[in-house]
């Protein structure tokens, strides 16, 4: 978690709160400090959930096709493309 990036996003989202911040102590208002702690916990949990994951395009790119053909024992086929799309859809929570 990039704490500075998260603090910037937090302060952008919660502009209506008192955002006075003291280095090494945190936010001055307890309501803001509670909100910040919750934000950090949620961000950490999201990071842990995605550990071991990578982002891939829904449709394979030309470079992906080339890598497949270079390392596969069989040529790229409609079945390979359909299988890739099915795996992406399953990872997204689909069928």
- pLDDT tens sequence for the chain (95 residues): 788 999 999 999 998 888 898 988 889 999 899 999 999 999 988 888 888 888 888 888 889 888 888 888 888 787 788 888 888 888 888 76
Segments forming the whole domain that contains residue 7: 3-49
**Residue 57, domain member (yes or no):** no
Residues 21 and 42 in one domain: yes
**Residue 83, domain member (yes or no):** yes
What is the structure's pLDDT at 40?
93
What is the structure's pLDDT at 73?
84
**Residue 56, domain member (yes or no):** no
Residues 31 and 69 in one domain: no
* Surface-to-core class of residue 27, CB atoms within 10 Å of its CB (0-12 exposed, 13-18 middle, 19+ buried): buried
d(CA 23, CA 91): 40
Structural domain count, the chain: 2
Residues 45 and 66 in one domain: no
What is the structure's pLDDT at 95?
65
What is the structure's pLDDT at 77?
82
* Surface-to-core class of residue 36, CB atoms within 10 Å of its CB (0-12 exposed, 13-18 middle, 19+ buried): buried
**Residue 40, domain member (yes or no):** yes
């Amino acid at each position: 978690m990039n704490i500075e990036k998260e603090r910037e996003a937090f302060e952008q989202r919660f502009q209506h709160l008192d955002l006075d911040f003291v280095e090494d102590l945190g936010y001055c208002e307890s309501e803001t400090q509670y909100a910040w702690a919750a934000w950090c916990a949620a961000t950490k949990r999201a990071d842990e959930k995605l550990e071991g994951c990578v982002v891939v395009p829904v449709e394979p790119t030309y470079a992906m096709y080339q890598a497949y053909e270079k390392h596969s024992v069989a040529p790229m086929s409609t079945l390979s493309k359909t299988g890739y799309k099915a795996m992406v859809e399953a990872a997204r929570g689909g069928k």
